[in-house]
Chain A
Amino acid sequence: MKNLFVITSLLVSFQFLVADTKKDITIQNARIKAVPSSSPNSGGFMILKNSSNKDIQLIKAESSISETVELHTMTMTEGMMKMRPVDKIEIKAKSTTELKPGGFHVMFIGLKSPLKKDEKKLVTLTFSNGQKESLSMPVTEIQMEMK
């Protein structure tokens, strides 16, 4: 009886140990913009939610759908749209960062083949907390969402 109790306690404790590697970042509404067949690039958008007490950054995005994948942002200055690459996208502790049209996005540079609407594409995201997520992102029409 005592042995059974010890074994059970050990197993239960082990569960708590393993459960510490829970997902700090959850991802919602991930999608890739449908673009014409002659367009060399496209953008990926999503909502990143950080449920931990520490700031976490999205540091890398990878996919085989394009030659390169980078993280980019858009800013508007004096009526001019400017796109720039960024090393990381921050998701502050206990908050949400949205990658959306007119702001942060995953940039797929040099699409290897035309994107077809409703097709799903595999994209892997790496975060600064060691979390790695592989997503199946649908290709969709994206309407004006800013303003």
Chain B
Amino acid sequence: MTRLFIFITSLFFSLTLTHCVPAEDQIELAKVPQGGNFTLDTEAGKLSLSDLKGKVVFIYFGFMSCPDVCPTTLNVFSSAFKTLSVKEQSKVSFLFIDVDPERDTLDRLTIYTKYFHPQIIAMTGSILQLNEVAMLYGASFQKVNLESSMGYTMDHTSSVFVIDQNGKWVSTLPHGSKKNDIQKTIKELIKN
């Protein structure tokens, strides 16, 4: 009886311990993108990732009150796109998914993205919809109140998710990627 008790208790503890992984690993696992289709709003109406099949698509989560990281990312991608041929430019798209719909309206967002490059499309949606898309790509964003006249900021993943011409997530470009990293990625993925 005692041996059975010890055996059952040990089994219970062993099973419990297998659920425990170090905190860092848990975060890493949660952040691996699975990719997938989604639909959000643009100024021209609803747009799904699947509507862009045949194009190499870059996905980024940002917001307009961001003075540094977002414009800098849009700048480097637009300068990379400008080095492509006209045909190649028609085969790329950049989705700027705005995570601050409280302040950022689609008309102002479109002015914002078109300043950088015509192939950059501004999208947004409800927080619930945005969260669902973020989860597909292992991205996060969070509203943070500040002691600042900004009121609040949005903490956000700053990587760029790379989608191939079949709509499949294939890689992630970290923040700070240079123009030639982006050019190389595009050249490798444009197959037709």
Contacts and interface: CB of A to CB of B under 8 A. Distances in A.
B66 A83 contact: yes
Contacts of B140: 80
A145 B109 CA distance: 25
Q: Does more than half of chain A's interface fall in helix, strand or loop, or is it mixed?
A: strand
A101 B115 contact: no
A146 B71 contact: no
Contacts of B131: none
Contact of B148 (A40, A70, A78, A80): A70
A143 B71 CA distance: 9
B89 interface: no
A78 B108 CA distance: 30
A42 interface: yes
Contacts, number: 122
Interface stretch (A29-37, A46-54, A126-134): A29-37
B176 A147 contact: yes
A42 B69 CA distance: 11
Interface string B54-76: 00000000001111110111011
Nearest to B67: A43
Given A81-B175, A143-B79, A144-B178, A76 B158 contact: yes
Contacts of A27: none
Q: Does more than half of chain B's interface fall in helix, strand or loop, or is it mixed?
A: mixed
B68 A79 contact: no
Contact of A109 (B73, B150, B156): B150
Contacts of A107: 67, 150
A85 B111 contact: no
A68 B149 CA distance: 7
B65 A41 contact: yes
A142 interface: yes
A110 B149 contact: yes
B115 A37 contact: yes
Contacts of B112: 36, 38-39
A67 interface: yes
Given A79-B158, A80-B158, 19 more contacts: A33-B67, A33-B72, A36-B116, A37-B115, A40-B103, A41-B150, A70-B150, A74-B69, A76-B158, A79-B31, A80-B156, A83-B68, A83-B155, A84-B146, A108-B67, A109-B150, A142-B71, A144-B73, A144-B179
27 contacts: A33-B67, A35-B67, A35-B115, A38-B64, A40-B103, A41-B67, A70-B149, A74-B69, A76-B158, A78-B27, A79-B31, A79-B157, A80-B158, A81-B66, A81-B156, A84-B146, A85-B147, A101-B72, A102-B72, A102-B175, A107-B67, A108-B67, A109-B149, A141-B75, A143-B76, A147-B177, A147-B178
Q: Return the 7 tightest CB-CB contacts between A and B, nearest first.
A: A147-B176, A36-B115, A43-B67, A38-B108, A68-B149, A38-B111, A81-B158
